[in-house]
């Protein structure tokens, strides 16, 4: 019945979450205490900030994901028509996957898939 | 026969006869919104109880049995407790993102319900790119999780969120490729087309070996995508306390928890639609008598049975497999599942072009 229902769903989600949080806020009488606002760790005061340098491995995997995700998006329209087009589509997609797979093998050889 | 389809049609006709068409549309939208919220609340209540009962069954114990009949009101009591808890914001947190994250996760969980067919002709929006829409929306929740982990100003949270991001993003590829196998068979991205194509047998039977392989890949990938054990590194209790929602408490924690369970329901519904025919009853080729007997069981019941069967399977995984290490997790995806799903895709293409499926 149309895209208007997406707005309905979005609004329902926001209303549900906001309603829950609001009701909780109205019902609860919290107590003020500086200790409560400390980060949940091990008991002694937190050392340093979590917002500093991070393992590069996560970014490498994110970059690799980008390559294959774009490949996946290209394949959706292909998958819809492949039955009608037939063998030609199959040959084309094999070439497409082959080229990307060389890139994947290169990343593998450079050690991008090894977790440090 | 009374079915969800006739009920919706009757309501639609009644509204159009009694009020002007604009008001009818507005009232219908209101009903849809309330129904979806009700579905969310019910899913939360049922799935949490089911998880606890199934885990009790797996470990040969009783499980919750004090509140209500055989513990049926246990989740309601837990929800009440969570509502009455204070929602804390940690010192030094990014307040805006910290409060925004539960909304993002909830919106993603809610929006994904739009193209799912719950029964025959009972669907919120039969969009013509349904499968693509689902895979697009399902990747939004990663943003919410990363937001929550980043904004918490807690090392456990950030580590959990990064792990979760890497994991969801990686396994999305395999899930996407196994979905593509079914798209190749159907030649359409629309959910109703995919279900109608399974009129004479579900795809897991019709699609030959590639369909079975892609179902196995799909179920592994969605278990990882919903952060369930054995892939629950993002919230590995023994090392990261609670992962990305360590700092969340009260109602905001409850929203993350609920979104997680709704996501399990949604991925199982997609699995049921793609491989087991959604609401389509068990039909075997052209056995007219058998098919007609099966048609007597309502389509909504078929859908619910299949979805909860798959949910049981995923819960079963949790209690039978040990947790993976993060390098094992990424190896499994990038070195085994991804090449396998690419080869499987080509195999499926050959099967579809040659017409070797039934």
Chain B: closest CA distance from residue A110 (Å): 14
For A70-98, what is the mean pLDDT? 87
Are A27 and B170 an interchain contact pair (Cβ–Cβ within 8 Å)?
no
pLDDT (0 to 100) of residue A1: 57
- Asked whether residue B76 is assigned to any structural domain, the reply reads no
> Predicted ipTM?
0.86
User: Which of B174, B182, B203, B349 would best serve as a mutation to test chain A binding (most A beta carbons within 10 A)?
Assistant: B349
Assess whether pLDDT exceeds 60 at residue B102: yes
CA B315, B321, B325, B329 torsion: positive or negative? negative
What are B22-77's pLDDT values in tens digits?
A: 888 888 888 888 888 888 888 888 898 888 888 888 888 888 888 878 878 888 88
When pLDDT is cut at 50, 70 and 90, the band that residue B1 belongs to is low
Cβ-based neighbours of B197, under 8 Å, separated by 6 or more: B185, B186, B188, B203
- Asked whether residue B8 is assigned to any structural domain, the reply reads no
What are B168-180's pLDDT values in tens digits?
A: 888 888 888 999 8
Q: Which long-range contacts (CB under 8 A, 24 or more apart) does B38-42 make?
A: B39/B113, B40/A16, B40/B109, B40/B110, B40/B258, B40/B262
Are B346 and A13 an interchain contact pair (Cβ–Cβ within 8 Å)?
no
- Asked whether residue B44 is assigned to any structural domain, the reply reads no
Residues of A in contact with B344 (CB under 8 A): none
CATH number of the domain to which A35 belongs: 1.20.58
Instruction: Give one DSSP letter per residue of B10-70, joined into a string.
Output: HHHHHHHHHS-HHHHHHHHHHHHHHHHHHHHHHHHHHHHHHHHHHHHHHTTS--S-SSSGG
Chain A residues 63-102 with a CB less than 8 Å from chain B: 64-65, 68-69, 72, 75-76, 79-84, 86-87, 89-90, 93-94, 97, 101
Q: How many domains, in total, are found in chain B?
A: 1
- Asked whether residue A116 is assigned to any structural domain, the reply reads no
For A58-79, what is the mean pLDDT? 85
A94: closest chain B residue by CA: B346
User: Do B283 and B197 contact (CB within 8 A), yes or no?
Assistant: no
Residues of A in contact with B131 (CB under 8 A): 76
The phi and psi torsions of B118 (rounded to 5 degrees) equal -85, -25
Domain assignment of residue A33, given as a range:
2-110
pLDDT (0 to 100) of residue B115: 86
Please tell me the distance from the alpha carbon of residue B4 to that of residue B300, in angstroms, as a whole number. 8
Assess whether pLDDT exceeds 70 at residue B110: yes
Q: How many domains, in total, are found in chain A?
A: 1
Assess whether pLDDT exceeds 80 at residue B237: no
- Asked whether residue A115 is assigned to any structural domain, the reply reads no
- Asked whether residue B20 is assigned to any structural domain, the reply reads no
What are B112-168's pLDDT values in tens digits?
A: 888 888 888 788 888 888 888 888 888 888 888 888 888 888 888 888 888 888 888
Residue keyed to tokens 């069954």: B57
Assess whether pLDDT exceeds 80 at residue B216: yes
pLDDT (0 to 100) of residue B86: 80
Please tell me the distance from the alpha carbon of residue A61 to that of residue B337, in angstroms, as a whole number. 15
What are A23-37's pLDDT values in tens digits?
A: 888 887 777 777 777
- Asked whether residue A63 is assigned to any structural domain, the reply reads yes
Residues of A in contact with B153 (CB under 8 A): 39, 49-51
- More confident site: B309 or A39: B309
Domain assignment of residue B333, given as a range:
82-354
Are A23 and B33 an interchain contact pair (Cβ–Cβ within 8 Å)?
no
pLDDT (0 to 100) of residue B358: 62
When pLDDT is cut at 50, 70 and 90, the band that residue B218 belongs to is very high
- Asked whether residue B46 is assigned to any structural domain, the reply reads no
- Asked whether residue B217 is assigned to any structural domain, the reply reads yes
pLDDT (0 to 100) of residue A83: 83
Are B154 and A41 an interchain contact pair (Cβ–Cβ within 8 Å)?
yes
pLDDT (0 to 100) of residue B3: 75
- Asked whether residue A93 is assigned to any structural domain, the reply reads yes
What are B278-288's pLDDT values in tens digits?
A: 788 887 777 77
User: Which of B86, B172, B235 would best serve as a mutation to test chain A binding (most A beta carbons within 10 A)?
Assistant: B86
- Asked whether residue B240 is assigned to any structural domain, the reply reads yes
- Asked whether residue B190 is assigned to any structural domain, the reply reads yes
A49: closest chain B residue by CA: B153
Chain A: closest CA distance from residue B226 (Å): 18
A61 vs B: CB within 8 A: yes
């Amino acid at each position: 019945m149309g895209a208007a229902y997406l707005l309905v769903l979005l609004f329902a989600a926001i209303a549900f979450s906001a309603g829950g949080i609001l009701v909780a806020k109205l019902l609860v009488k919290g107590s003020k205490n500086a200790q409560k606002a400390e980060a949940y760790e091990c008991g002694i005061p937190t050392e340093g900030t979590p917002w500093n340098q991070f393992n590069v491995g996560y970014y490498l995997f994110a970059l690799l994901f980008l390559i294959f995700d774009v490949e996946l998006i290209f394949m959706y329209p292909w998958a819809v028509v492949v039955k009608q087009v037939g063998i030609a589509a199959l040959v084309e997609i094999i070439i497409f996957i082959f080229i990307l797979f060389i890139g994947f093998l290169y990343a593998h050889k450079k050690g991008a898939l090894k977790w440090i | 026969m009374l079915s969800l389809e006739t009920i919706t049609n009757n309501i639609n006709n009644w509204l159009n006869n009694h009020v002007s068409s604009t008001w009818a549309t507005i009232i219908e939208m209101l009903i849809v919104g309330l129904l979806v919220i009700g579905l969310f609340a019910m899913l939360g209540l049922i799935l949490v109880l089911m998880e606890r009962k199934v885990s009790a069954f797996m470990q040969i114990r009783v499980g919750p049995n004090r509140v209500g009949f055989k513990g049926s009101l246990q989740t309601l009591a837990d929800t009440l407790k969570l509502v009455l808890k204070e929602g804390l914001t940690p010192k030094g947190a990014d307040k805006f993102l910290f409060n925004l994250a539960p909304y993002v996760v909830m919106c993603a969980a809610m929006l994904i319900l739009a193209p799912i067919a719950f029964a025959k002709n009972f669907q919120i929006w039969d969009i013509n790119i349904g499968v693509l829409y689902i895979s697009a929306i399902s990747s939004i929740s990663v943003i919410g999780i990363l937001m929550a982990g980043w904004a918490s100003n807690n090392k456990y949270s950030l580590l959990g969120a990064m792990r979760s991001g890497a994991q969801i993003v990686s396994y999305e590829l395999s899930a996407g490729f196994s979905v593509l196998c079914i798209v190749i068979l159907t030649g359409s991205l629309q959910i109703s087309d995919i279900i109608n194509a399974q009129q004479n047998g579900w795809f897991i039977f019709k699609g030959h070996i590639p369909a079975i392989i892609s179902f196995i890949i799909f179920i592994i990938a969605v278990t990882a995508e919903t952060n369930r054990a054995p892939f629950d590194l993002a919230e590995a209790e023994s090392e990261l306390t609670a992962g990305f929602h360590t700092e969340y408490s009260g109602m905001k924690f409850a929203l993350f928890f609920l979104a997680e369970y709704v996501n399990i329901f949604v991925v199982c519904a997609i699995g049921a639609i793609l491989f087991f025919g959604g609401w389509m009853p068990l039909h075997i080729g052209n056995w007219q008598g058998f098919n007609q007997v099966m048609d007597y069981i309502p389509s909504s019941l078929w859908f619910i049975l299949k979805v909860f069967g798959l949910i049981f399977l995923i819960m079963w995984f949790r209690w039978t497999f040990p947790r993976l290490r993060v390098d094992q997790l990424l190896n499994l995806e990038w070195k085994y599942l991804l090449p396998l799903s690419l080869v499987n895709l080509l195999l499926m293409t050959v099967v579809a072009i040659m017409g070797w499926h039934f």
